[in-house]
Amino acid sequence: MRKNKAIMIGAGLANMAAAVYLIQEGHWSGDQITFYSLDDHGSNDGAPTKSVTDEYWNKNHPLENQKGYVARGGRMLNYRTYVDLMDLLDRIPSATETNMTAAEDTRDFDAKHRTFDKARLLEGGKGIINGSHLGLNNQDRLHLTKLIAMPDSEEEKLDNVTIADYFSDDPHFFGTNFWFMWETTFAFRVQSSAQELRRYMHQMIYEFTQIEHLVGVNRTRYNQYESIMLPLVNYLRDQGCHIILNRLVTDWTFKNTPMQDEITVTGLTVKNTVTGVDEQVTVDDDTAVIFTNGSITDSATLGDFDTPALENMDYGAAASLWKKASEHFYNLGNPDKFFADRNASEWVSFTLTTKDHLLLNEITRITTQVPGNALNSFISTSPITALGHKDVNMSIVVHHQPHFTTQKPNETVIWGYFLYPRRRGEFIDKPYIKMTGKEMIQELIGQLSKVDPGPGNIRDKTDQIMASVINNIPVYMPYASALFNNRAKTDRPKVIPQHATNLAFTGEFVEQPYQMIFTEQSAVRSGEIAAYHFAGIPMSHLVKTPRYDKDLKTLAKAAKKMFD
């Protein structure tokens, strides 16, 4: 149903994309669009610690005492599949490079700093593992082939089936190099949805032939905020959009209809999180409401060098509002599938800032590659899973430096994460989730020392490395992998739900045909669909999604690779 104004609940990538398409394709004026949001970045953050506004952290850590940088997560790109994202970035100017669009900026940087990871897997006592040998046996190959060959029309057979369920008669799969690389590249867990794994296998099938080097990974010039979100913020403000921050939408008013099936928003309750005052916002017949109904960084908490990140038990701001809507109507999904199972969704990450390049140089020596080329995973030498297999302990991303525009020439920023935060460290005898920033660095040095034999081991430089640390910020994210949680297709609402007259859902918790979530691609696509719907633009005008799972050459290469 065509509208002429929009209220955006959330100012993350999906809703900002919707605003750009409304302006450029729908020919709306920017002042017809109003955002209500806690922040202007969603899950695409990255900033000096002094600019962080996390209430759980700042309550006990005065900002003037904080140094270094923090990013709760990181984003990798892939031009071949992220076609909607690149279309979006080509529509807005770069925030850091003159006379370039944000897409041209990214392509220019990436062409000069191509990814080729020579140390994708590292194992204690063995060093760099040859990841080109996927380690699959015939049973593994059979299961993967069935998954890839499953047509879209039969995808519902995987409703409420976990990856562990799907491979229940094939525990060998979870000890293969392929699983270690797939797990850490895309952040799947054994409890994750097999349905989502199938979508990744379809859309990223060509990664079979290059996953050990990550040559399909593209990266932005700087962190995700400065290279992706800031260009959007600048453009939308220049267009006259109203981006109202420190606002939390806490409740809905819906039109009361006899059958209770028409979904029409007539009002919103909006809390000013600075003053605590509620405001009632009327939604008239000419206004669309575009809602990002979940966030993987909701309820995240930060620690510091001497303090672990505390657990925040909140359900999640966006998910709480989604839950209220789903209680009104039968076809808006089931947020509990994603936000009531932390065992399947939680992570701990850290952002390490040093005042010199000693640690960076040590990682370069151990991995035999320069910064910016690698996503490195460290594998335990002993069984640590319920299946009795070794598994990944921790992963780090060594970005091209500088990763922030305000970084000093001598400073290094490294990001890492623990996919299973309640496992215990090998060098710090406590769960990762309980570690301080200092202890996480000590665990990292210990993990690196396992693959650094002979004289000059990195552990010999521990004191110098620790002395170089400006800060290390642990981040607990209870919902980081929630979008992969086991579910059925009906557990996520469609972008435009049936019977909705003025409400659309966007982001990583909506159901879109074929799209794989946890990508900048799916977020942008959802915003694009919402914008086209309310601007009256035919869906045939959407950016065309490539189908590599239909390409015979790609499938043949993948089949050959499975036997390496």
Please identify every residue annotated as catalytic.
200
| Residue of 389, 304, 294 lying closest to 345 (CA atoms) | 294
Cα separation, 137 vs 222, whole angstroms? 40
Contact yes or no for 26/535 (Cβ under 8 A): yes
On the 0-12 / 13-18 / 19+ scale of CB atoms within 10 A, 528 is: buried
Q: How many alpha carbons lie under 13 Å from residue 188 in its C-beta half-sphere? A: 26
Contact yes or no for 377/397 (Cβ under 8 A): no
DSSP one-letter string for 144-202? HHHHHH--GGGGGGGTT-BHHHHTTT-GGGGGSHHHHHHHHHHT--TTBBHHHHHHHHH
Strands 374-379 and 121-123: parallel
Between CA 236 and CA 247, with CA 242 as vertex, the angle to 5 degrees is 120
| φ, ψ at 491 (rounded to 5°) | -80, -10
Strand residues in 361-456 grouped as ranges (E): 374-379, 392-398, 412-418
Q: How far is CA 162 from the centre of its chain?
A: 20
Q: How far is CA 147 from the centre of its chain?
A: 24
Cα separation, 106 vs 421, whole angstroms? 32
Region of 42 (left: φ > 0; alpha: ψ -120 to 50; beta: rest) is left
> What are the CA-CA distances from residue 324 to residues 99, 188, 277, 293, 345 (Å)?
45, 29, 20, 11, 22
Tokens linked to 248? 């939390």
SS3 422: coil
Determine the angle formed by the axes of helices 13-24 and 520-535, rounding to 10 degrees: 40
On the 0-12 / 13-18 / 19+ scale of CB atoms within 10 A, 135 is: middle
Contact yes or no for 144/205 (Cβ under 8 A): no
On the 0-12 / 13-18 / 19+ scale of CB atoms within 10 A, 162 is: buried
| Residue of 532, 538, 500, 556 lying closest to 24 (CA atoms) | 532
